[in-house]
């Protein structure tokens, strides 16, 4: 088995796959990349048992074969090379030798038969989504997922496909994001919960182009196919909470303000907030928004006044500044709207502009009790 490939091209492809490999694996074989060579086509795979990703790399070769190569050792080596052709040759002593312009390097390889076999999706449905839209859906939702091991369903993003639209939802019980595309639809109605790790991998490699991503799914697994890459992952088992029930429908108090102005003010003021609660206070009266924070333990406090467009009763409401920061930071609009009803009910944050046709984003943030 022998092949020649560009050093930077191979390193770029393997860098992405390396994101799947855990720092500590129960099975030693999972510390390796699987190489499957068929003439000029080299398929490289990585797995953590829950997710398997593979990508096809073009190489110069006339041979065939497969083996598993230590991922960290190979990646660390590839990072040091300037752009140049590298020749990989399998030697009789169970090593694969890499020849560069400057020298030779031998890595011990492992039998490829130990590598986990890819999951075969039976009775699957399929939906096609442009890469840029899927990327946007992941970016807008994955940050709102939870980390509670006792509630695994909330540690993933809820994909809700229907014949009318596609909806993506994430929540950790303190904040919630609902991202809807009215311009896309599925052939049938289905829903499943995608784990966070494969979504973060997809987020890193899905471009902003219109290349189509094919999503195949059944009750237990999902498969994403795009370009030369395939990602197969196990879905989170369980029923997603009824998120619609927590979104308040009547919100008479409505505040409109520049997103950057609001975000920068929240960031500054939150520096002075209590390091445990991260609480900031929003006091709204007329066309004035007063944002304040206080850390009584250290006598730190800050206050800013902003001009806004406000329709509703004068009110004071408290929020965890970290949640507001994340939400405002994940929007791209010039202006945002914050809709509220009562100081103890969730606030709804939506972008006023900057959305594509058919795109809807609703962000919900739970209030915190104010110290009077």
% of the chain surpassing 70 pLDDT: 99
Where among 224, 244, 264 does a domain terminate?
244
Query: Are 237 and 274 part of one and the same domain?
Result: no
Query: Are 364 and 254 part of one and the same domain?
Result: yes
Query: Are 101 and 136 part of one and the same domain?
Result: no
Backbone angles phi, psi at 96, to 5 degrees: -115, 125
pLDDT tens digits, 203-229: 888 876 679 999 999 999 999 999 999
The pLDDT value given to residue 207? 72
Give ∠ CA 284-176-353 in degrees, rounded to 5.
65
> How many domains does one find in the chain?
3
Please state, in angstroms and rounded to a whole number, the distance separating the CA atoms of residues 125 and 139.
Answer: 24
Residue count of the chain, please give it: 372
Q: For residues 176-188, give the mean pLDDT.
A: 96
Query: Are 180 and 73 part of one and the same domain?
Result: no
Where among 82, 114, 146 does a domain terminate?
114
pLDDT tens digits, 258-305: 999 999 999 999 999 999 999 999 999 999 999 999 999 999 999 999
Please check whether residue 232 lies inside any domain of the structure: yes
Please check whether residue 293 lies inside any domain of the structure: yes
Backbone angles phi, psi at 111, to 5 degrees: -60, 130
Q: Which of 53, 70, 211, 65 is nearest to 129 (CA)?
A: 211
% of the chain surpassing 90 pLDDT: 92
The DSSP secondary-structure symbol of 249 reads S
The pLDDT value given to residue 372? 61
The pLDDT value given to residue 80? 95
Residues 212 and 130 sit within 8 Å (Cβ to Cβ): yes
Please check whether residue 304 lies inside any domain of the structure: yes
Residue 326: how many other CB atoms lie within 10 Å: 16
Please check whether residue 120 lies inside any domain of the structure: no
Please check whether residue 119 lies inside any domain of the structure: no
Q: What b-and-e string marks burial along 42-51, b requiring 16 or more CB atoms within 10 Å of the CB?
A: bbbbbbbeeb
The pLDDT value given to residue 127? 96
The pLDDT value given to residue 208? 66
Please state, in angstroms and rounded to a whole number, the distance separating the CA atoms of residues 155 and 176.
Answer: 12
Query: Are 220 and 263 part of one and the same domain?
Result: no
Q: For residues 248-256, give the mean pLDDT.
A: 95
Parallel, antiparallel or unpaired: strands 156-161 and 190-195: antiparallel
The pLDDT value given to residue 128? 95
pLDDT band at 370 (very low <50, low <70, confident <90, very high): confident
Q: For residues 26-52, give the mean pLDDT.
A: 96
User: Per the structure block, which two tokens stand in for 16?
Assistant: 């992405």
Query: Are 44 and 96 part of one and the same domain?
Result: yes
Query: Are 131 and 81 part of one and the same domain?
Result: no
Instruction: Check whether 360 has a pLDDT greater than 70.
Output: yes
Please check whether residue 30 lies inside any domain of the structure: yes
Q: For residues 62-78, give the mean pLDDT.
A: 96
What are the angstrom distances between the C-alpha of 226 and each of 55, 186, 214, 233? 10, 18, 7, 15
Q: What b-and-e string marks burial along 68-98, b requiring 16 or more CB atoms within 10 Å of the CB?
A: bbbbeebbebbeebeeeebebbbeeeeebeb
pLDDT band at 328 (very low <50, low <70, confident <90, very high): very high
Query: Are 8 and 107 part of one and the same domain?
Result: yes
Query: Are 268 and 352 part of one and the same domain?
Result: yes
Structural domain for 234, as ranges: 125-244
CB burial of residue 225 (10 Å; 0-12, 13-18, 19+)? middle
Q: What is the mean pLDDT of the chain?
A: 95
Query: Are 240 and 252 part of one and the same domain?
Result: no
What's the helix, strand, coil split of the chain in %, to 5?
20, 45, 35
Task: Mention every residue, 6+ apart, whose C-beta is less than 8 A from residue 252.
Answer: 312, 313, 341
What CATH number is associated with residue 337?
A: 3.10.150.10
Give ∠ CA 136-140-144 in degrees, rounded to 5.
150
Query: Are 55 and 138 part of one and the same domain?
Result: no
Please check whether residue 330 lies inside any domain of the structure: yes
Where among 212, 244, 276 does a domain terminate?
244
Please check whether residue 146 lies inside any domain of the structure: yes
Query: Are 313 and 297 part of one and the same domain?
Result: yes
Q: For residues 171-178, give the mean pLDDT.
A: 96
């Amino acid at each position: 088995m022998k092949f020649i490939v560009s050093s930077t091209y191979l390193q770029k492809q393997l860098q992405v796959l390396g994101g799947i490999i855990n720092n500590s694996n129960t099975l030693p074989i999972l510390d390796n990349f699987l190489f499957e060579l068929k003439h000029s086509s080299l398929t490289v795979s990585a797995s953590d048992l829950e997710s398997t990703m593979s990508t096809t790399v073009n190489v110069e070769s006339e041979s065939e074969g497969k083996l598993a190569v230590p991922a960290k050792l190979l990646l660390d080596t590839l990072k040091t090379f300037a752009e140049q052709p590298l020749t990989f040759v399998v030697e009789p002593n169970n090593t694969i030798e890499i020849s560069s312009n400057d020298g030779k390097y031998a890595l011990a390889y492992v039998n490829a038969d130990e590598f986990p076999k890819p999951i075969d999706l039976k009775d699957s449905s399929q939906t096609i989504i442009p890469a840029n839209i899927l990327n946007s859906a992941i970016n807008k939702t994955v940050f709102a997922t939870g980390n509670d091991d006792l509630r695994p369903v909330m540690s993933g993003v809820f994909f809700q496909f229907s014949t009318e639209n596609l909806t993506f939802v994430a929540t950790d019980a303190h904040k919630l994001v609902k991202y809807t595309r009215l311009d896309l639809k599925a052939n049938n109605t289905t829903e499943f919960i995608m784990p966070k790790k494969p979504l973060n991998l997809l987020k890193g490699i899905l471009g902003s182009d219109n290349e189509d991503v094919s999503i195949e799914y059944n009750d237990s697994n999902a498969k994403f196919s795009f370009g030369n890459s395939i990602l197969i992952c196990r879905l989170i088992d369980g029923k997603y909470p009824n998120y619609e029930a927590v979104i308040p429908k009547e919100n008479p108090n409505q505040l409109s303000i520049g997103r950057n102005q609001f975000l920068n003010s929240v960031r500054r003021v939150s520096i002075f907030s209590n390091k445990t609660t991260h609480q900031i206070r929003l006091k709204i009266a007329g066309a004035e928004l007063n944002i304040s924070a206080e850390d009584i333990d250290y006598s730190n406090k800050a206050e800013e006044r902003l001009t806004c467009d406000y329709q509703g009763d004068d009110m004071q409401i408290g929020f965890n500044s970290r949640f507001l920061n994340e939400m405002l930071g994940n929007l791209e609009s010039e202006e945002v709207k914050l809709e509220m009803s009562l100081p103890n009910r969730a606030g709804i944050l939506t972008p006023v502009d900057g959305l594509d046709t058919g795109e809807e984003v609703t962000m919900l943030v739970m209030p915190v009790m104010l110290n009077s």
